[in-house]
Amino acid sequence: MTTLLIATSNPGKVSELAAMLKDLDCQVIGFADLPENPPAIEETGQTFAENALLKAEHYHRLTGLTALADDSGLEVDALDGRPGVYSARYGGEHLSSTEQVQLLLSELKDVPVPKRTARFVCCIALVGNGINKTFESSCEGSIAYEPRGENGFGYDPVFVDAELGLTFAELSREEKAPRSHRGKAFLQARQFLAEWLKS
Ligand code: ITT
């Protein structure tokens, strides 16, 4: 049976991706299942796809396993698309998610509702022997004036889904998955994976 490595050190992503992968015909493992934590690679790409491939290629090279990496982030229109590919490092490497959310809210404090539009973007890269693929998707929303909800991770408490009017942190994992950037990118990856695992 093929082993698929979920190549991320972000616990929020691990939990979402593991749930999405659970009925595929392969053994899914994370960094915690490896004998030692693999060293990270610097995310020097200018796009989500470049960074997702950088990560998946790096972890495939280190482990020999088929690696699934995700590069994702939040593009805020009033900030000309920032933080974008720098979402994990927004405000500097030392800030917690809660502090990053507060920084975002302070940057947007004078921005009125119609101008608070934003989107989450996700690119999933799959790299293994004979595979080198990316799958990208996004979801539209806007930035709330204050955090709401307890679920999810990162910017979820301030990302308001355009259709539901609820933040992603107010949704359960099962409600977030089909509408999220990661869930939609994963659906494409999953179709490919299912075919590839049969071959
Ligand atoms: P890995 O590189 O190890 O996967 P990371 O957290 O550094 O972990 P990224 O470089 O892709 O991952 O950064 C993405 C950041 O964007 C992440 O840290 C979150 O702050 C944010 N983000 C991505 N998807 C999100 C989601 O579904 N909900 C909330 N925030 C999200």
pLDDT exceeds 90 at position 68: yes
- pLDDT value at residue 93: 86
What is the percent of the chain with per-residue pLDDT over 70, rounded to a whole number? 100
The answer to whether residue 33 is catalytic is no
| In this structure, CATH architecture of domain 2-198 | Alpha-Beta Complex (3.90)
Ligand 1: residue whose CA is nearest its atom 16: 73
Q: Give the CB-side neighbour count of residue 127, counting CA atoms within 13 A.
A: 21
Select from 155, 166, 171, 175 the residue to mutate for testing ligand 1; criterion: most ligand atoms less than 8 Å from CB: 155
- Measured by CA distance, the residue closest to atom 21 of ligand 1 is 73
Beta-bridge partner residues of 136: 123
CA distance 70 to 52: 5
Predicted TM-score of the model (pTM):
0.96
- State if residue 102 touches ligand 1 by the CB under 6 angstroms criterion: no
pLDDT in tens, 134-150: 999 999 999 999 999 99
- For the segment 10-65, what is each residue's pLDDT rounded down to a tens digit? 999 999 998 898 888 899 999 999 999 999 999 999 999 999 999 999 999 999 99
Cβ(70) – ligand 1 distance below 6 Å: yes
What whole-number distance in Å separates Cα of residue 77 and Cα of residue 65? 38
- Cα–Cα distance, 103 to 90 (Å, whole number): 9
The tens digit of pLDDT for each residue in 169-194 reads 999 999 999 999 999 999 999 999 99
Relative to beta strand 66-76, strand 159-161 is unpaired
Give the sign of the dihedral formed by CA 184, CA 185, CA 188, CA 194.
negative
Find out whether the beta carbon of 180 lies less than 6 Å from any atom of ligand 1.
yes
One of 25, 70, 71, 110 is an active-site residue; which one? 71
DSSP codes joined into one string, 28-78: EE-GGGSSSPPPP-----SSHHHHHHHHHHHHHHHH-SEEEEEEEEEEEGG
* Mean pLDDT taken over the chain: 96
